[in-house]
Amino acid sequence: MIKNNLLAITISISFSLIGLTAYAQENWPERPVKLIVSSSAGGGTDMYARMLAQSLSDSFKQQFIVDNRPGASGNIGASAAAKSPADGYTFLVSANTSLTINGSLYKNLSYDAEKDFIPIVRALGPLVIVVHPSSKIKSLQDLIEIGKREPNKLSFGSAGTGSTTYLGIRMLEEKTGAKFLHVPYKGVAPAYQDLLAGQIQFMMPDVASGLQLIKSGKIIPIVSEYKTPLIPNLPNMSDAGYPEVNTNSSFSLVAPSGTPPPIIEKMHKELMSITKSAAFSSKVEAQGLIAETESLSGLFNSMKKERDNYATFIKRNAIVPSD
């Protein structure tokens, strides 16, 4: 009799817990949600994260809080998110550096981007090659010709070896045979300062971070990875004959693996609605970003393909991180 009573109590508790879990998922979010951002404030990743946080707060009538965790090429923030409880109250917003590149660069990462995260939404952030207004480089062809004629004469700044701002130029070198001198920085902000001061000759940042400098005429764009409505007459790499030079620079919101599927689906559905709205689209475009509306499976497959392509490129060029 006692055993039967214990069994009945155990079953009752189990069903109660299942019911509570289902209730919690159905009524998610019931408290503030954290968006860990794997970069410092002010960059393209941070700007995208803050736009998402505001829109999601408005939609769900609950706070979505940005928590910047910069450092180690995005690995610090990604690691923190991967180790967070998979309960729907912590997400990661990161550039593709942490999600599709670093796994091929670093031997001892504390996370596995493919296994530890579920991608939910993404915005593309096309890169653009920019020079100082006084530069004699007026086109991509000028840049390539000098790089081939006088290897390593022209120096370029990046956010570090392995960043898209570095890999984009390496792709250009591989395709054209040109050679440039790499000057790594801890982020694009100090690289901009040296470009403006004439210490480096060019760089390849994302449009989002360089937009105000471009608009003010302090730096001049000569080519973009692909078309951006903010600089409509600027040729892109395909126009110039180099469609393979494409870093797929992007900013994504992902969830720790194990996050309940109902929460993932609820988040994705709401983000698709937000992304398609005219108000959000105009904000995204104003920052030089291109919002995507892929399905959950489509986004997962796209990022896996990108991850595989980077692994091949990095191995072929024997690229090792600078930090």
Size of the chain, expressed as the number of residues it contains:
323
Q: What is the pLDDT of residues 65-119, one digit of tens each?
A: 999 998 888 899 999 999 999 999 999 999 999 999 999 999 889 999 999 999 9
Architecture of domain 31-125+249-316: 3-Layer(aba) Sandwich (3.40)
Who contacts 283 (Cβ-Cβ below 8 Å, separation ≥6)?
Answer: 51
> What is the model's pTM?
0.85
The topology (CATH level 3) of 128-224 is D-Maltodextrin-Binding Protein; domain 2 (3.40.190)
Beta carbons of 98 and 113 less than 8 angstroms apart? yes
Who contacts 161 (Cβ-Cβ below 8 Å, separation ≥6)?
Answer: 182, 184, 319, 320, 321, 322, 323
Q: What is the pLDDT of residues 263-300, one digit of tens each?
A: 999 999 999 999 999 899 888 888 888 889 999 999 99
d(CA 238, CA 230): 18
Give domain limits for the chain. Answer: 31-125+249-316, 128-224
Model pLDDT, residue 174: 96
Beta carbons of 285 and 126 less than 8 angstroms apart? no
* Helical packing angle, 164-176 and 296-316, nearest 10°: 60
Q: What is the sign, positive or negative, of the torsion defined by CA atoms of 137, 143, 145, 150?
A: positive
Q: Which of 5-14, 30-39, 109-118 has the lowest mean pLDDT?
A: 5-14
| Tokens representing residue 297 in the block | 């499976």
Looking at residue 236, the DSSP 8-state letter turns out to be B
Average pLDDT over residues 169-198: 94
d(CA 150, CA 157): 18
Model pLDDT, residue 9: 55
Would you call 67 helix, strand, or coil by DSSP?
Answer: strand
Half-sphere exposure for 33 (CA within 13 Å, toward CB): 30
Res. 16 pLDDT band, cuts 50 70 90: very low
| Tokens representing residue 234 in the block | 């600027």
Res. 158 pLDDT band, cuts 50 70 90: very high
Average pLDDT over residues 240-269: 95
d(CA 247, CA 175): 13
Q: Is the pLDDT of residue 260 over 50?
A: yes
| Domains 31-125+249-316 and 128-224 are alike in CATH topology | yes
